[in-house]
Structure 1
Amino acid sequence: MKNSRPNAADDLTTSVEDYSRFLIALMNNGLLSKEVFEEMKTGQVKTKKDKYFGLGFEIYDLGSGRIALSHGGMDKGVNTLMVMLPETKQGLVIFTNGDDGYKIYEPLIDQYLGEAGKKLVRIETE
């Protein structure tokens, strides 16, 4: 389905593989200058304890100078989430089919991102 009107906050049509490549390039300074990426992951608006909006990312303060970045989306029948840990260059891309796909986010984040993932989930759910 092609959109007939421009919209800055609209759908991204991609695959998990391509989105993962994008994140890897972003973390390895292959797309943006280091300065621009630093600005993107700087909190612009505090939304709750240890959570901020940056430029294109939600930012989670994990303590000890560590952060997690995330961005998600949803449409009818689709839920998506990306989480990245810039300091360790770890990331997770989750695309689900189904209106309740978000229900698998927490166990996957816990399993694959360890203590950093558990802290992110605590910040998000408290």
Structure 2
Amino acid sequence: MKWAFVVFLTVLVSSLLNQIIQDYWLANNDKLQKMLENYQKMLESQQQNQDYWQANNDKLQKMLENQQKMLESQQKMLESQQQKQDYWQANNDKLQKMLENQQKILESQQQKQDYWQANKEQQQKMQDYCQENNKQNI
């Protein structure tokens, strides 16, 4: 009977130890499961953060590209305006030269007209003189 009691106690102690070990591992397992869940949540949160910042970076990149295109467009517009300004300045210079030449032509024509007017007046004086002289000679 002692032997049976010892076996009974051994089985009971063994069973209790197994239960304690099983409870320990179950408690540990629950803690590990909770840690894994928290770690998974942290990874998901990090992925969301990474996705958020990647989306922001993509938006910023697109904004920079659009700004670059806008700057290139403005540069082309400025170059076009400069070309137009150069064109009109060259036209103005040509027109100014034409006006100067026209003024010289007008001055030359006025000098010729003054010359022929003075010549005509001189001829009239000469004609008047000749007529007066002819009258006196008659």
- Interval containing the TM-score (normalised by the shorter chain): under 0.3
CA radius of gyration, larger in: 2
> TM-score, with normalisation over the residues of structure 2?
0.13
| Superposition TM-score, scaled by structure 1 size | 0.13
Higher relative contact order (CA 8 A, sep 6+): 1
